[in-house]
Amino acid sequence: MKKGLIALALVLLVAGGAWWSSLDKDTRAVIAQMPTDSNVLFWSVEQRDAAFRALDSIPVLAEARVIEAGDAVYPLPAGEPLEIAMDPAQFMEDQRSAALVIVHDGEVVFEEYGLDFSAEGKWTSFSVAKSLTSTMVGAAIKDGAIASLDDPVTKYISGLEGSAYDDVSVEQLLTMTSGVQWNEDYTDPNSDVALFNQHEAEDGLDVTVSYMRNLPREAPAGEKWVYKTGETNLIGVLVSEATGEPLAEYLSEKVWGPFGMEQDATWLLGSTNHEIGGCCIQASTRDMARFGLFILGGGIAGDAEVLPEGWLDVATTKQAEIGSPGSGYGYQWWTNDDGTFAAQGIFGQGIFIDPERNLVIASNSNWPAATDPETVGLQRARFYQAVQEAVDAKAAVRAAPAE
């Protein structure tokens, strides 16, 4: 467990630390509420309220690498507001939402903020980052840095040789069907997802590789889907090793800069200086909506086709059964049989994309629990449906003949 952040601030202050003295009054107030435990799964709601907007601001919590934006900004003009049957204000209150941005036909038709957050702030993504990480696999294939999804992951990630990953392909890593045993129980302090960030890396190995190479196999590769944050971290290592670039810089080069994100973002780093591929991009909610538009537009940034032909058709449709009728898992995207798909992160982060309706919904929240599919999760799904119905009603009015 790492030292308390208030203690850190006092040390820096006594030492005349430039970092602490450079912060404004509001930022110092946020830091004063920050958690002393480095494991987010066991922070209080109040601690998370303070931390989720500032994870990249506290050196003792985690270092971060900048994802640089470009000079031009992709426009998000205001559009005609939707008449949503489900009250958005009540929805945001129930969800403990920090931000909700709805974009239809390229125009912002709803944008509101809560929890004292704003359009200028950056909120952490949690597992929404997984979908951005997988998209960089597509970019690396387009660039020729990754030869084939059928390649064994050991071709690109040194240190996995001789482990349960010997016969796992890049595609099986993307679909979380490696068959390697993993426990993602967010309520269990002894689960893999709770423990692997505390792991001390073996000499010369990335910290995620060091942890994952010791896991046993529970099923043949390709036969069983299990959600594994650790494997997305491996994907991040794979992209960095294949391209020779840090993941944040590659994302900036391929998407963040040329597509026109408005603000620099940051990506938290693990203890061995790789971006945490399965988590923790700090970005504005408007820029996360822009990423949804990048995907909705077929993966074109500026004048460049970033992804291989047909990549998104496969990545955003069901490639693995997850035991939920009507739903599935693609290449690190949650998929629905109606053609919609989403990036999702614990505590209520999300990008929902509906290609048929040309619709993107980006949201950031601080749910009371990491996951809660029967209450806030179900409510969010119903809100998405209410927005879709509002879009359909708007289209019907426009299509109706004039009297």
* Residue 32 confidence (pLDDT) above 90: no
Using the 8-state DSSP alphabet, how is residue 270 labeled?
-
Q: Which amino acid is at 365?
A: S
Long-range contacts of 38-41 (CB under 8 A, 24+ apart): 38/1, 38/2, 38/197, 38/198, 39/1, 39/189, 39/194, 39/197, 39/198, 41/186, 41/187, 41/189, 41/193, 41/194, 41/370
* Residues whose CB is less than 8 angstroms from the CB of residue 312 and which lie 6 or more positions away in sequence, other chains included: 138, 295, 298, 299
- Contact between residue 318 and residue 170 where contact means Cβ atoms under 8 Å apart: no
What pLDDT was estimated at residue 30?
56
Tell me the two tokens of residue 7: 């203690």
Mean model confidence pLDDT for the chain: 90
User: Residue 295 forms beta bridges with which residues?
Assistant: none
Distance CA 179, CA 168 (A): 8
pLDDT tens sequence across 272-329: 999 999 999 999 999 999 999 999 999 999 999 999 999 999 999 999 999 999 999 9
| Nearest Cα residue to 237 out of 269, 197, 266, 264 | 269
pLDDT tens sequence across 142-190: 999 999 999 999 999 999 999 999 999 999 999 999 999 999 998 888 8
pLDDT band at 24 (very low <50, low <70, confident <90, very high): low
What are the chain's domains? Answer: 5-62 (no CATH), 88-399 (3.40.710.10)
What pLDDT was estimated at residue 61?
67
pLDDT band at 224 (very low <50, low <70, confident <90, very high): very high
- Average the pLDDT over 67-80 and give the result: 97
Distance CA 52, CA 287 (A): 16
The share of the chain scoring above pLDDT 70, in percent, equals 89
User: Residue 180 forms beta bridges with which residues?
Assistant: 217
pTM of the model: 0.91
pLDDT band at 17 (very low <50, low <70, confident <90, very high): very low
Q: Which residue has the higher pLDDT, 62 or 4?
A: 62
What pLDDT was estimated at residue 373?
87
What pLDDT was estimated at residue 198?
80
